[in-house]
Amino acid sequence: MKRTGQSFSRIFFTLLIGLLVGSLVGDLLTQFHIPYMGTFVTRVWHPAADLGVIQYTLALTIRLNAMSLAGLAAAFWYAKKH
């Protein structure tokens, strides 16, 4: 049972690092005049609720570009291979 938790956390952080590295590479490529690699697609989600006793509001923004998706794919491949 413990091995499953460690495996999930390892895969999760590997995918997160892949997204971050891909996003940074996309930003660097835009500085070298490859603009379509750094074009972001932004999705915003604002869940909120008022339950009488508890009221909450959250904001989640996801920005993806082509290189962040490539980094995610590479991280997924790496996680499955190792």
* pLDDT digits 0-9 by tens, 33-68: 888 877 889 999 999 999 999 999 999 999 888 899
Total domains in the chain come to 1
Classify 49 as helix, strand or coil: strand
pLDDT band, residue 17 (cuts 50/70/90): very high
Look at the alpha carbons of 4, 7, 74, 16 in this order and tell me if their dihedral is positive or negative: positive
- Please give the Cα distance from 49 to 18 (Å, whole number): 33
- Average of per-residue pLDDT values in the chain: 87
pTM for this prediction? 0.72
- Please give the Cα distance from 31 to 40 (Å, whole number): 14
Is residue 21 scored above 90 in pLDDT? Answer: yes
pLDDT band, residue 30 (cuts 50/70/90): confident
What is the extent of the structural domain holding 45?
Answer: 2-81
For the record, the structure tokens of 64 come out as: 């993806």
